[in-house]
Amino acid sequence: MTQTISLINMKGGVGKSTLTVNLAWHFAAYSNWSKRVLVVDLDPQFNASQYLVGVHKYMNIINDNRPTIWEIFEQHTRTPAGKTQKITPAESVRSVARVRHGGKIDLIPSRLELSLSLRNPGQKEYLLQKTITKIKDNYDLILIDCAPTESVLTTAAYLASDFILVPVKPEYLSTIGLPLLVNSMRDFHEQYEEHNINLCGIVFNAVTYYSPEEMKSKNEVITLSKNNGWYYFRNEIPYSRSYPKGAREGQPIFRTSYARTEQALKFALFAEEFAGRIGI
């Protein structure tokens, strides 16, 4: 069964895109998984798209006249001539990598114009779910990299997902986004009672194990998690300069040049715990 997971936090800069891309590579490339993975970039800043394919190839994608996630959300918007555009879901999917043993990574890319969809959000929240429903049998795992603000894109991600994964940097400005997420999910469940979505957990990302402020923030998140019945991952993701370097190279942590084996191992331990939480 295909599992669809949205990575979300109402605060930017917590590493959602980096986490999304590294999870995609982990489950596609390791022979004990060899999963068929689709990454959906639902952020107008398109960081996950650039990370996966690189800056130059990304520009080629934007100019290839094939639909991106923006066109998916705008396909029923009428032009001055009164016409609407019908998008075939497969048109929007780009192949990123094919791996031995059957693993693969595909991408539905984003672009800056996606932010324009927020100006006219009416009746768009189901379009992502409809698109994914038509192609999900081609994948074992679908990862949605979400924008860090509450909008129709957030609702669309909820409707399309089975689980929510919340990355949190253990610092004050990152943890204050969690109460906003509590309210966001509560409001969603009240409005869309027929859709069941679960929070698979909160993961501490870019952990330095240094600052007393970091420990205080961790404790605040753990307390909030327990009060809301949320799971928090015991395996944390340490800070490493190899992650931004990997983004530049277009490589996951285990393929980034000169990345420490210890860093790749710690990410793998988190990924295994994550797999257990979503049942793959």
> pLDDT tens digits, residue range 249-263?
889 999 888 878 999
Predicted confidence at residue 134, as pLDDT, reads: 96
Q: What is the identity of the amino acid at 70? A: W
Taking the C-alpha atoms of residue 88 and residue 37, their distance in angstroms, rounded to an integer, is 19
Predicted confidence at residue 78, as pLDDT, reads: 56
Predicted confidence at residue 176, as pLDDT, reads: 75
The pLDDT tens digits for 2-11 are: 999 999 998 8
Parallel, antiparallel or unpaired: strands 94-98 and 104-108 = antiparallel
The pLDDT tens digits for 106-126 are: 999 999 999 988 777 778 999
Report residue 273 as tokens: 């715990």
Predicted confidence at residue 174, as pLDDT, reads: 66
Q: Flag the least confident range among 56-70, 75-89, 144-158, 186-200.
A: 75-89
| Residue 164 in this model has a pLDDT that exceeds 70 | yes
**Contacts (Cβ under 8 Å, ≥6 apart) of 199:** 163, 164, 166, 185, 230, 231
The pLDDT tens digits for 51-67 are: 999 888 999 999 998 99
